[in-house]
Structure formats: structure tokens, C-alpha cells
Amino acid sequence: MPPIISIASLSKVYASGHNALKNISLDIDKGEIFALLGPNGAGKTTLISIVCGIVTASAGSVRVDGHCIQKDYKAARKAIGLVPQELTTDAFETVWATTGFSRGLFGLPPDPAHIERVLRDLSLWDKRDSRIMTLSGGMKRRVLIAKALAHEPRILFLDEPTAGVDVALRQDMWRLVRKLRDGGVTIILTTHYIDEAEEMADRVGVIRNGEIILVEDKAELMRKLGRKQLTLQLDAPLAALPPALAGHSLALAPGGRELVYTYDTKGEAGLTGLLADLGAAGIGFHDLHTSQSSLEDIFVDLVKERA
């Protein structure tokens, strides 16, 4: 299946000389949730803005659903809904009017039933006649999402969608995003909340200093780069690690009462050997627990590594 978004050798140098994107190539598959992670100023918003037509690329090409964003920009943009990072809304408009405006702007005839569905999905129906200026920040965020969904896009860009919203609203949004994905919408989200990407994404891309440093299936990424730790509570304290255990990646915690075994997800087979060697060395334990690195740990390691 051809990618729904295909970015090839994309670069952006702003008039100030700032090189925001450096020769980026990236394919987004149809129907996936793709999380684009990166520190502030990495180039996430510039990348999204180029695909959506807000910023002009310095070099490279982008195709959306097979359409070149330059030559066939109308067809390309029709497929896209964008929820920007900033809460930029028409303060004096009502929720209903601004959502209908967005639908018209994208070339579709009025469809009150669809607008009602979108507003109900986002718990905005009761606020449909309210002016946007009277809404809370979280509600304004929902309005931006409603506007982006008003023209039934096949691709949805969510630029920091849950920045500054409360936990309940975040979970509401996650539910909505999953529902949209289940309906066949491709979602590209940037977020500072790595747990959000961990929770939602099918694939993860990491961008740093205008370069994509990694694109990977999330589960594969966690498997490849994730680390696990097994901590054993010993029956009797050890003064030092016995030489018989030197072959294992073990560390003795201060006090000698805990042994910590660190392994990657591929090294799970070594556990059996470790337990056998512990038995042979006469080292008993009365409790154990395991922990696993999060996507956040992996992200921090990746960004530090390439710094």
C-alpha cells in the first residue's frame, strides 16, 4: 500500500538563516497513528506546517495521498485537517459558526448533521451557541479539533493536542483519536508527553536539530532499545559478587542485600542461566521485581546520544 504522506529530501532554511529541516525523508502509512517526538525547536512544527501549506519548503517534495502539495495543492489540502499548537480562534464567533466556516473553507457544502456529530463527539454540543472567547482553554482546544474535523479529513495533524489540558480531557482526546483511526483516519501527532506517544502511537519518529534520527514501529522500538531490570532481594547480604556470576550483567546494590540484573528485551534467555548460576552458588532470594524503561527513557537516551 503506498504511503498516504511521502516526504522526500525536505529542507527548510528560514530567511534568518536558521536551518530548520535538513534533508528529511519520511513516509506515513495510511491508517496509522504516527507520533513525531523531539525537543523544542527540533523542527516538528515546521515539518507539519510545510505539509499543510503554511510554510514554503526550501527544497524537497511532499506528496499527500498521491498529490504534490505544490502543483496539486487543493487536492492535497482537502485530505488534511490541522489542529495547531497555539489556541488561535476567532474570539467573537460562536462554536457552531466557526466549525461551519471551516467546512465551507475546505470546499464542502453545509452539513449540519455532520457538524452536530463532531460537536457531540467533542462534548461541545451544549456550547454550540457560545462565543469562543467565553470558553475555557480546554474547550478552545476542542473547538480547534472540531474545526479540523469539520471537512471529514483523511489525515489529521495534531500539533501538541493535549498541551495545557486536564487529565480527563486528555483521555477524552485519546479516545477520540483512536475512534478516528478506527474509522480510517491517519493521525500524525507531535507531543511533549512521551507517555501519550507510548499510549497511542503505532510508529514513532524522533526529530532533533531538523533531522529525523529514528523512525520505528513503537513496539519494535521498545523491544530494541528498551531495557529491563530484575531486582532480587537476597536472603543473606553479599560482600561482593561471586566470580561464578561474573558472566552476567549484575550489580550488587549498596548494603549487599539486592542484586540488580540489567538486560535488554533480547536478553531474556539469559535469565534462566542466571537463576541456575545463583542456585549453584548457593545464593538464595526471597523476593524479586522487574522494571522496564519507558518510551520517555528511550527518547531521552536517543536525544542525548545524538547531542
Does position 147 interact with other proteins (CB under 8 A)? The reply is yes
Does position 104 interact with other proteins (CB under 8 A)? The reply is yes
Structure-block grid coordinates of residue 98: 466557526
| Minimum gap (Å) between residue 34 Cβ and other proteins | 18
Question: Of 65-84, which residues contact other proteins (CB under 8 A)?
Answer: 73-78, 80, 82, 84
- From 1, 40, 109, 113, residue interacting with other proteins (rule: CB under 8 A): 109
| Minimum gap (Å) between residue 247 Cβ and other proteins | 57
Query: Which of these ranges, 23-31, 104-112, 199-207, 271-279, lies near other proteins under the rule CB under 8 A?
Result: 104-112
Does position 140 interact with other proteins (CB under 8 A)? The reply is no
Q: What is the 3-state secondary structure of the chain?
A: CCCCEEEEEEEEECCCCCEEEEEEEEEECCCCEEEEECCCCCCHHHHHHHHHCCCCCCEEEEEECCEECCCCHHHHHHCEEEECCCCCCCCCCEHHHHHHHHHHHCCCCCCHHHHHHHHHHCCCHHHCCCEHHHCCHHHHHHHHHHHHHCCCCCEEEEECCCCCCCHHHHHHHHHHHHHHHHCCCEEEEECCCHHHHHHHCCEEEEEECCEEEEEEEHHHHHHHHCEEEEEEEECCCCCCCCHHHCCCCEEECCCCCEEEEEEEHHHHHHHHHHHHHHHHCCCCEEEEEEEECCHHHHHHHHHHHCC
- From 9, 25, 71, 91, residue interacting with other proteins (rule: CB under 8 A): 91
Q: What mask of x and - would describe binding to other proteins in positions 12 to 51, judged by CB under 8 A?
A: --xx---------------------------------x--
Does position 88 interact with other proteins (CB under 8 A)? The reply is yes
| Minimum gap (Å) between residue 252 Cβ and other proteins | 56
Instruction: Choose between 48 and 200: whose C-beta lies nearer to other proteins.
Output: 48
- From 47, 52, 124, 158, residue interacting with other proteins (rule: CB under 8 A): 52
| Minimum gap (Å) between residue 110 Cβ and other proteins | 8
| Minimum gap (Å) between residue 234 Cβ and other proteins | 60
Site residues for other proteins per CB under 8 A: 14-15, 49, 52-56, 73-78, 80, 82, 84, 86, 88-93, 97, 100-109, 147
